[in-house]
């Protein structure tokens, strides 16, 4: 039992340490950021390229201001977007089926070029006399809407140079899809051949996005995937550190910017040559993108280059087939091997029940049944230990401060009664990895974002607004403590009584779904422990008869 209490105390101490660390993070002095997020003063944001073999590569513009021009609106069944003709950037992008964390009557805004965030999708061509994301485009109309019974919506922007080069930048939106295809149609009517490169990049500040919790933080920043190096995260704070940008040449892979529940990613197709880059262009402002060679375009000829942009929720069923390794964007941490089966099982249960709250309850019952033989053995051991408590107390009084003799006498009793003093540790050891894995599932599964349960629980991924579940969890822990043997050490006994209160307070900020799991698990454990205690208490009575 000393080992069990040591494990519980270690978990408790670690939890308090993590909580204190997050408290320090919340209350540390704020990081100074630029006041005008649409102006960058340090570096140019137009990338250079060494992929294409040309004699000279110059940046098409060196201006450091994100200019705003005429906007065109695009509406589909799942997104509402705005494209600025100044650069042809995707400046605003709202997800119609996802609600804002601040105002659930409004859609969630992923891209925006205004306070509190700068986060937009840019693209352009590299090469002398070619349009980058600072050139002015034209279009035929100001509003595009996906028509009924139409699968695709094409938005075409036009650019013409004085030397006869024509460039059409085309956005293709798809029904019931968060994949947007970006296509450049380049016609060379000049007198010489050209060899442009195309770049596709995100411009984003390093400020935490909407829905980010300082107490339960999730990763927000760039990531690069290649078959060689796999999934690599690059925190904004490390991009441009010591004046060094991040670059990586590859012939496969993709680049993304992640934030809680959502993903934006450029997904180059095939095994074409590409260069990924991450660059700090000003204080708290970064670009992350990919450069792809278009190849030589002879005079009087046309060439196309395409790029797929995914910008939407991290729905695991939807993203897994878009690109190799894209499912890794749902990062369950080091317990992925447990978290993935848990989510798969939860998805199956949800298909039957249609409610994520009841899904968590059923999942808890299933997990409890799966570990029933182990937990039953543990509870029997704890029940026997409780029955031995008076004898152990007498040993303590008998041997006083002679710990060695007291310990030896206790071991003799355990051997005689055939009790494993470590048997009671199993429930704790078993639950910890499952608990942590479920925590990551609830934290990263957008499928459960803003999912209601019942009564006052309107979002299982948010904290209980009235703290009812944390209080119930504390009460259930107190009941469990009463069913277990009382520690002979008064200090340990006090710790065991304080822990339920401390855990309840700590769980005030945990997702309601996670606390729901813990409450149901505790209630089942209480029922199982009470039943085992009752049976063992009646065994001697039946024997006497």
**Where a domain ends, among 330, 357, 392?**
330
Q: Are residues 91 and 198 in the same domain?
A: yes
CB pairs under 8 A, 24+ apart, for 176-180?
176/77, 176/78, 177/78, 178/78, 178/79, 178/95, 178/310, 178/311, 178/312, 178/313, 178/318, 179/308, 179/309, 179/310, 179/322, 180/90, 180/308, 180/309, 180/310, 180/311
- Give the residue with greater pLDDT, 412 vs 230: 230
Could you tell me if residue 174 is inside a domain? yes
Q: Residue 14: its pLDDT value, please?
A: 45
pLDDT band of residue 222 (cuts 50, 70, 90) is very high
Q: Are residues 312 and 342 in the same domain?
A: no
Q: Are residues 120 and 238 in the same domain?
A: yes
Could you tell me if residue 306 is inside a domain? yes
Helix (H, G, I), strand (E, B) or coil at 184: strand
Number of domains in the chain: 2
Q: Are residues 354 and 278 in the same domain?
A: no
- From the list 261, 270, 271, 279, the residue with the least C-alpha distance to 222 is 279
Q: Which two tokens stand for residue 346?
A: 């939860």
Q: Which two tokens stand for residue 146?
A: 């996906």
Q: Are residues 323 and 346 in the same domain?
A: no
The predicted model gives 531-535 an average pLDDT of: 67
Tell me whether the omega of the peptide bond preceding residue 113 falls within 30 degrees of 0, making it cis.
no
Distance separating alpha carbons of residues 505 and 469, to the nearest angstrom = 11
Q: Are residues 152 and 189 in the same domain?
A: yes
Q: Residue 105: its pLDDT value, please?
A: 87
Distance separating alpha carbons of residues 475 and 486, to the nearest angstrom = 17
Q: Residue 438: its pLDDT value, please?
A: 79
Distance separating alpha carbons of residues 521 and 78, to the nearest angstrom = 38
Range with the largest mean pLDDT of 85-89, 380-384, 401-405, 438-442? 85-89
Range of the structural domain that residue 271 is part of: 70-330
Q: Residue 49: its pLDDT value, please?
A: 56
**Where a domain ends, among 281, 311, 330?**
330
pLDDT band of residue 443 (cuts 50, 70, 90) is confident
pLDDT at 58 over 70: no
Could you tell me if residue 297 is inside a domain? yes
Q: Are residues 314 and 287 in the same domain?
A: yes
Q: Residue 514: its pLDDT value, please?
A: 84
Secondary structure element (H or E) that encloses residue 491, with its range = helix 490-506
The predicted model gives 393-420 an average pLDDT of: 68
Q: Are residues 444 and 484 in the same domain?
A: yes
CB 329 within 8 A of CB 314: yes
Q: How far is CA 272 from its chain centroid?
A: 29
User: How crowded is residue 411: how many other Cβ atoms within 10 Å of its Cβ?
Assistant: 11
Q: Are residues 326 and 385 in the same domain?
A: no
- Give the residue with greater pLDDT, 45 vs 323: 323
- From the list 537, 531, 534, 539, the residue with the least C-alpha distance to 376 is 531
Q: Residue 210: its pLDDT value, please?
A: 65
Q: Residue 22: its pLDDT value, please?
A: 40
Could you tell me if residue 208 is inside a domain? yes
Q: Are residues 299 and 347 in the same domain?
A: no
> Which class for 486: exposed (0-12), middle (13-18), buried (19 or more C-beta within 10 A)?
middle
Q: Are residues 323 and 411 in the same domain?
A: no
Q: Residue 346: its pLDDT value, please?
A: 92
Q: Give the domain CATH number at 129.
A: 2.70.98.90
Q: Are residues 322 and 394 in the same domain?
A: no
Give the Å distances, CA to CA, from 304 to 83, 170, 183, 254.
Answer: 21, 10, 7, 20
Distance separating alpha carbons of residues 39 and 36, to the nearest angstrom = 6
Name 383's Cβ contacts closer than 8 Å, sequence gap at least 6. Answer: 529, 532, 533, 536
In the sheet that holds 152-160, the strands lie side by side as 152-160, 165-174, 179-188, 301-313, 262-267, 254-259, 221-226, 230-233
Secondary structure element (H or E) that encloses residue 124, with its range = strand 117-126
DSSP 48: P
Q: Residue 355: its pLDDT value, please?
A: 94
Q: Which two tokens stand for residue 533?
A: 């205690």
**Where a domain ends, among 330, 349, 372?**
330
User: How crowded is residue 41: how many other Cβ atoms within 10 Å of its Cβ?
Assistant: 12
Distance separating alpha carbons of residues 332 and 320, to the nearest angstrom = 15
Could you tell me if residue 57 is inside a domain? no
Could you tell me if residue 185 is inside a domain? yes
CB 82 within 8 A of CB 73: yes
Q: Residue 34: its pLDDT value, please?
A: 31
Average pLDDT of the chain, as a whole number: 79
Q: Residue 533: its pLDDT value, please?
A: 65
Asked which of 51-55, 225-229, 238-242 is least confident by mean pLDDT, the reply is: 51-55
Q: Residue 220: its pLDDT value, please?
A: 87
DSSP 138: B
Secondary structure element (H or E) that encloses residue 107, with its range = strand 107-114
Could you tell me if residue 31 is inside a domain? no
pLDDT band of residue 426 (cuts 50, 70, 90) is low
Q: Which two tokens stand for residue 268?
A: 């180059």
Asked which of 67-71, 136-140, 334-338, 491-495 is least confident by mean pLDDT, the reply is: 491-495
Q: Residue 465: its pLDDT value, please?
A: 87
DSSP β-bridge partners for residue 83: 72, 90
Could you tell me if residue 29 is inside a domain? no
For the chain, the straight-line distance linking the first and the last C-alpha, in angstroms and rounded, comes to: 32
pLDDT at 21 over 70: no
């Amino acid at each position: 039992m000393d080992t069990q209490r040591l494990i519980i105390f270690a978990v408790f101490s670690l939890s308090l340490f993590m909580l204190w660390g997050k408290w320090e993070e919340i209350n540390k002095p704020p990081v100074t950021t630029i006041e005008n997020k649409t102006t960058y003063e340090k570096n140019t944001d137009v990338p250079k390229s060494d992929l294409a073999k040309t004699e000279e590569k110059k940046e098409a513009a060196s201006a450091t201001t994100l200019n705003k021009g005429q906007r065109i609106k695009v509406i589909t069944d799942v997104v509402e977007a705005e494209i600025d003709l100044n650069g042809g950037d995707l400046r605003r992008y709202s997800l119609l089926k996802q609600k804002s964390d601040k105002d659930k009557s409004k859609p969630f805004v992923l891209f925006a070029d205004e306070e509190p965030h700068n986060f937009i999708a840019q693209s352009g061509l590299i090469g002398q006399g070619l349009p980058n994301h600072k050139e002015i485009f034209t279009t035929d109309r100001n509003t595009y809407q996906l028509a009924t019974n139409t699968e695709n919506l094409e938005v075409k922007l036009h650019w013409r140079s004085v030397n006869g080069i024509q460039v059409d930048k085309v956005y293709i939106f798809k029904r019931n899809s968060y994949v947007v295809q970006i296509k450049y149609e380049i016609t060379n009517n000049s007198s010489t051949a050209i060899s442009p490169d195309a770049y596709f990049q995100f411009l984003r500040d390093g400020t935490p996005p909407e829905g980010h919790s300082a107490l339960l933080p999730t990763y927000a920043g760039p990531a690069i995937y290649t078959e060689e190096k796999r999934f690599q995260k690059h925190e904004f704070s490390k991009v441009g550190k010591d004046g060094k940008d991040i670059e990586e040449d590859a012939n496969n892979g993709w680049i993304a910017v992640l934030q809680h529940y959502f993903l934006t990613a450029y997904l180059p197709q095939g095994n074409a040559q590409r260069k990924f880059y991450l660059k700090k262009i000003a204080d708290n402002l970064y670009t992350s993108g990919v450069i792809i060679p278009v190849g030589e375009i002879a005079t009087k000829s046309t060439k196309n280059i395409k790029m797929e942009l995914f910008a939407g929720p991290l729905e695991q069923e939807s993203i897994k087939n878009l690109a190799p390794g894209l499912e890794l964007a749902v990062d369950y941490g080091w317990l992925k091997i447990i978290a993935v089966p848990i989510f798969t099982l939860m998805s199956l249960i949800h298909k039957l029940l249609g409610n994520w709250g009841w899904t968590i309850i059923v999942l808890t019952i299933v997990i409890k049944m799966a570990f029933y033989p182990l937990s039953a053995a543990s509870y029997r051991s704890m029940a026997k230990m409780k029955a031995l408590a008076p004898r152990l107390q007498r040993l303590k009084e008998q041997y006083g401060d002679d710990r060695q003799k007291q310990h030896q006498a206790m071991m003799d009793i355990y051997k005689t009664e055939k009790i494993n003093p470590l048997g009671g540790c199993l429930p704790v050891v078993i639950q910890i990895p499952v608990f942590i894995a479920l925590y990551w599932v609830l934290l990263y599964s957008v499928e459960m974002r803003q999912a209601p349960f019942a009564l006052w629980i309107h979002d299982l991924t948010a904290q209980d607004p009235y703290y009812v579940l944390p209080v119930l969890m504390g009460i259930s822990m107190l009941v469990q403590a009463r069913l277990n043997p009382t520690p002979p050490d008064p200090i340990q006994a006090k710790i065991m009584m304080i822990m339920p209160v401390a855990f309840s307070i700590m769980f005030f900020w945990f997702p309601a779904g996670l606390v729901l799991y813990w409450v149901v698990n505790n209630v089942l454990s209480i029922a199982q422990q009470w039943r085992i205690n009752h049976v063992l208490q009646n065994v001697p009575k039946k024997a006497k008869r």
